[in-house]
Structures are given as C-alpha cells and as structure tokens.
Amino acid sequence: MTLPQRIPFIVLAVAVACAPAPPRESVGAPPSQSSSTPSAALSAPPAAVASHTSSSATREPVPVDSTPTVQEPPTDVVPAPDPLAVNAAPFEAGLEEILDARPIRLTKRALEVIKPEAERLAASAKALAPKAKGRSKAHAGAAAVFEELAYALRRELAKTPVTTELAADLQARRKAAEDAALELYFDAIAMDNTLDDAKYRAAHLLHVRRNVVSARKQYFVLVENHPNSAFVPLAYLGFALLFADEARRDNAKWSFVEMSAQKALEPQGNPATPEALLLIARAQRGTGKNSEFAETLGRLRKEFPTSAAAKRKP
C-alpha cells in the first residue's frame, strides 16, 4: 500500500479507534467460553442459554502497525437485539445491505436439515488431532453452517409475534447458533491466521449482533493484514454502515461514511460497489452535497439498475 493510498486508511484507523460504542450497547460474556459443545447450547432451554454472566471490558486500541495478528474471541459480545424492534430498524436494514453485497450466500434450507449438519461438522472438527491437516478449515466449515442456522432462525423469528414464548425460544437458539459460529471461526483463525474468509465472517457476525467495538476491530484487522483479500471492500462497506448508524445521531460522521464507502469501490467492479455507491450518495446528501448526491445516485441506477441497492430508498 503506497503512502497516498495509506493516508485515507490511517485517517479511517484513527476514526475507528476513537469511535464510541452506541449508547444502547452493553458488555456481556464472550461467545461460548464454557466447556459445553455448540450442540448443547442449541438444545438448551432459553433460560439456560441466557444465563451467561456479564463482565466489564475495556476497549482495546485498534492496531495501526502492519504486523499480522491472531485475533482472540471478542470480549464485548452482547445478546442480539429483537429484529422487530422499531428502534433497531435502520441498523437491521444496513445489515441486509451487507448480505446483498457479499459473495458468501446463505442458503435457505430448513432448520431440521441445518441443525444436525452443524452439530455433526462441529463434533467432527473438534475430534481432529491438533496437527491434523485441514483442521482449521474444518472448524471454519462448521462455523459457516452454524451461521446459516442462525440466519434460518432469524427468518423464523421475523415471522413470529415478539411477545410469545416461541419468539423467546427462537431468539435464544439464534444467539446460541451465533455463539457457536463465532467460537468456531476464532478457533479456525487461531489455527491458521491466513483465513481471511473466516475473519470477515466473524466480523460480520459481530456486526449482526451490534458488537460495534469488536466488529470494527475485526474489520480493521482484516483490512490491515489482508490488503489484497476479496473481502476488503466488504470490510470497508461494514465500516461505512457502522458510521452511517452513528451519523443518525452525529452528522459529522457522514464524512467517515463517504470515506469508507469510497474505499469499498476498490478494486473496480467488486461486489460491494452498488451498496457502496448508495452509501456514498446518502453521505453526500447528509453533508449537503446535493448535486453530488444526484450524480452518484444516477450512476448507481444507470450502472447497476437491477441491483438491490438501486431499488432501495436513498
């Protein structure tokens, strides 16, 4: 990365390091640090799943050197919010923008198909010898299926009345699936620090759970340690969405939204481009650049007319 290219990156690094957590964020226990298996957590009743004890944590400074680091499981994991809550709508919509942009596609298989496969893959991965070939990828593969399970549960939860016992059960099971996925992703990364896909997917899951501090940190580590990864534009898109959520309370953050989204346009034609253009347009409107807003929105609708981004409300 040349110096001219690195200057915006350094500015963004400072913004990431200094950005506060949202007012509603609380600190909880790390994902699946007990000796129980992921399958045990998924089969536990809601009360048992929710019994993790809370602990305080201090924010670590975001690294700015280029030395590769092995991520530890984040220490600020919080319960996933109710996706149907009115005040969560803008943030949840932003997450859908990431899902539309990223090359990883989550299938829509039935819960009864996904759950046993996730449990089987996790058990198989954990049974491998410490130096077995493919051990890290086995953990990452099991994590991906638990991630798929979490999204299947999320779809079911969206169709369920919030105040019912079923909704509480689905929410607890979704959290358990996310816990299992995060634990397995970080296990895989600890075994093989070159797994950029696992790093991105772990960061995305933290983003989903509103673990803003840890999500920022993991996106940053991916960008810093894997500058040529296909997931880097998506990490910058994640930054832009996190800043956009803050910009609803602080207009000054729109400049960071635009800066991050501009970086998400590199390299040209990557999958994050339509959503990045939409965020750039929103940032330009937020900072009063009305002519630039119209120009960027026109470019989005001209170059990517069938994209989900072009159909969204700017």
- Using one digit for the tens of pLDDT, what is the confidence trace for 51-96? 333 333 333 333 333 344 445 555 443 333 333 333 333 445 556 6
Looking at every residue in the chain, the average pLDDT score rounds to 78
Categorize the per-residue pLDDT at 42 as very low, low, confident or very high, splitting at 50, 70 and 90: low
Contact predicate 158/8, CB 8 Å: no
Measure the CA–CA gap between 209 and 220, rounded to whole angstroms.
17
- Cα(271)–Cα(110) distance, integer angstroms: 27
Tokens of 100: 């539309």
Q: What is the pTM of this model?
A: 0.74
b/e per residue 49-78 (b: at least 16 CB within 10 A): beebeeeebebeebeeeeeeeebebbbbbb
Instruction: Write out pLDDT tens, residues 90-115.
Output: 445 556 666 666 767 777 889 999 99
- Token duo for residue 299: 């470019």
Q: In Å, what is the CA distance from 245 to each residue of 14, 187, 251, 294, 306? A: 18, 30, 10, 22, 25
- Domain 230-314: homologous superfamily in CATH: Tetratricopeptide repeat domain (1.25.40.10)
pLDDT at 314: 85
The phi and psi torsions of 227 (rounded to 5 degrees) equal -60, -20
Mean pLDDT across 280-303: 96
Over residues 228-275, the pLDDT tens digits come to: 999 999 999 999 999 998 998 999 999 999 999 999 999 999 989 999
The stretch 41-53 carries a mean pLDDT of 38
Cβ neighbors of 180 (< 8 A, separation 6 or more) are 31, 32, 38, 41, 42, 118, 122, 143, 146
Cβ neighbourhood burial of 17 (10 Å; 0-12, 13-18, 19+): middle
Place of tokens 């899902």: 99
Give the span between the Cα atoms of 49 and 28, in whole angstroms.
13
pLDDT recorded at residue 158? 86
The residue with greater pLDDT, 219 or 40, is: 219
Q: Which residues of 248-283 are buried (b: 16+ CB within 10 A; e: fewer)?
A: eeeeebbbbbbbbbbbbbeeeebbbbbbbbbbbbbb
DSSP state of 272: T
**Measured distance CA(8)–CA(223) in Å, rounded:** 13
pLDDT at 70: 45
Task: Give residue 269's region: left, alpha or beta (phi > 0; psi -120 to 50).
Answer: left
- Written as one letter, the residue type at 313 is K
- Give the residue extent of every domain in the chain: 34-45+80-211, 230-314
Q: When comparing pLDDT for 43 and 294, which is higher?
A: 294
